[in-house]
Amino acid sequence: MTEQAADSAVVSGDLVVRAVLRTDVGLVRSENQDFGSYTTPTEERQSHPGGRLMIVADGMGGHRGGATASRLAAETVKAQYLGSETTDIAAALRDALSRANARIFSEAQANPELRGMGTTTSALAVRAGEGWFAHVGDSRIYRVRNDEIKQLTEDHSLVASMVREGLITPKEAETHPRRNVLQRSMGVAEDVEIDVQGPFDLQEGDTFILCSDGLHGLVKEPELKDVAKLDIDQAADEFVRLALTRGAPDNVTVIVARVERGKSEDVVDEASKLEETQELDAAQFDETVRDEKTEPVPALAASVDGDQTLKVAALSIEPPPPPAETTKTLEVSAPKPKKSGFATKLVVIVVVLIAAAGAWFYWAH
């Protein structure tokens, strides 16, 4: 795994994307219902679509519904995308969101505590110098290029449609009492209309910001653009810090991703660390899926380019929600070996065999 990473990393000079993820419960909410995720180098190499997939989801619904919906959305979109049979990224993204919608809806139908849960989902895929996105809801994907910021996604919110119809101004939308009303979200109906765009060209230096409304509600475009010029780690930290200093009434989640020319030398250690962490984390996720009442699962973050060339990776965790804390880092504890279970089984098998042999010997003589 790591050796493959090292081999492919030797290819340099291609456009690669580095990304970091931060999520924070904010200062008012008791639970983080946002979820962010992105694919790791090994996952990307083993998939048909390839490339890097980044996802931000912002859940809604009580009794853990919101947190469940956003986690199901991010994890299902990622799994479906990686397992897709096609190399057509637009088709893979559309199918992945469609299946995630159906999965959240059926979970909600099956579990009264989760009924009515829903989530936004904004997913950006980057491969070989091109980008695609799929989107439902009011989380956003921005692109910062040179000194311009552009919101790539369209908000599926009531106030956004009122602005489009000329009924209110964008400024009025920011403080409108119904600004949280969504017109489209994932998981609330059997089907959902999904916005898909791409491929669009990438340029070296492009920076993408994927974020929930806990960030874009407090930090507006001019400031987003300026902060996005920092190193991506610093930018992501600064976004969370700005939200917190402004009261952070909502959960804050952001992925900052930058398109760069590939450099091989700083890649291998980070990539291999990430892969090890990912394996442990995947095991934890399987357990929590079966039990709705467990704490939120750590969100994964990684980065790689669109051409299988590894780049620096960063990790962050979706924490159980202690209030007023800033970005978390992932603490990985080694999984407990399952040798004791195996040893017990072995002893039982040996005892049974000895007993059977004894019985046969006794009976035969």
Task: Please name which of 193, 56, 59 lies closest in space to residue 118, comparing C-alpha atoms.
Answer: 59
Residues facing 254 on adjacent strands: 22, 211
Closest CB 183 distance from Ca ion, rounded Å: 15
Q: How far is CA 254 from the centre of its chain?
A: 10
**What residues from 96 to 125 belong to the interface with Ca ion (CB under 5 A)?**
none
Q: Which residues contact 7 (CB under 8 A, 6 or more apart)?
A: none
Closest CB 126 distance from Ca ion, rounded Å: 25
Q: In a 3-state reduction of DSSP, which class is residue 359?
A: helix
Q: How far is CA 176 from CA 161, 166, 172, 246, in A?
A: 13, 14, 6, 18
Which CB atom, from 44 or from 250, has the smaller least distance to Ca ion?
250
Instruction: Say how far apart CA 139 and CA 153 lie, in whole Å.
Output: 8
Which CB atom, from 39 or from 185, has the smaller least distance to Ca ion?
185
Which CB atom, from 154 or from 260, has the smaller least distance to Ca ion?
154
Closest CB 61 distance from Ca ion, rounded Å: 12
Among the candidate windows 39-47, 54-62, 202-210, 311-319, which touches Ca ion by CB under 5 A?
54-62
Closest CB 350 distance from Ca ion, rounded Å: 57
Q: How far is CA 76 from the centre of its chain?
A: 10
Which CB atom, from 95 or from 138, has the smaller least distance to Ca ion?
138
Q: With binding defined as CB under 5 A, does residue 250 bind Ca ion?
A: yes
Among the candidate windows 57-65, 105-113, 191-199, 201-209, which touches Ca ion by CB under 5 A?
57-65
Which CB atom, from 213 or from 275, has the smaller least distance to Ca ion?
213
Closest CB 141 distance from Ca ion, rounded Å: 15
Instruction: Say how far apart CA 212 and CA 216 lie, in whole Å.
Output: 7
Buried b (16+ CB within 10 A) or exposed e, 110-129: eeeebeebbbbbbbbbbbeb
Binding residues with Ca ion: total (CB under 5 A): 5
Closest CB 58 distance from Ca ion, rounded Å: 4
Angle between the 268-290 and 2-9 helix axes, to the nearest 10 degrees? 130
Closest CB 227 distance from Ca ion, rounded Å: 19
Are the CB atoms for 256 and 239 separated by under 8 Å? yes
Which CB atom, from 99 or from 241, has the smaller least distance to Ca ion?
241
Angle between the 65-82 and 89-110 helix axes, to the nearest 10 degrees? 140
Which CB atom, from 58 or from 75, has the smaller least distance to Ca ion?
58
Which CB atom, from 49 or from 214, has the smaller least distance to Ca ion?
214
Q: Residue 187 is which amino acid?
A: G
Contact flags string 7-46 toward Ca ion, x per CB under 5 A: ----------------------------------------
Closest CB 134 distance from Ca ion, rounded Å: 19
Q: In a 3-state reduction of DSSP, which class is residue 133?
A: strand
Instruction: Say how far apart CA 172 and CA 153 lie, in whole Å.
Output: 20
**What residues from 186 to 245 belong to the interface with Ca ion (CB under 5 A)?**
212-214
Contact flags string 121-160 toward Ca ion, x per CB under 5 A: ----------------------------------------
Residues lying near Ca ion in the complex (CB under 5 A): 58, 212-214, 250
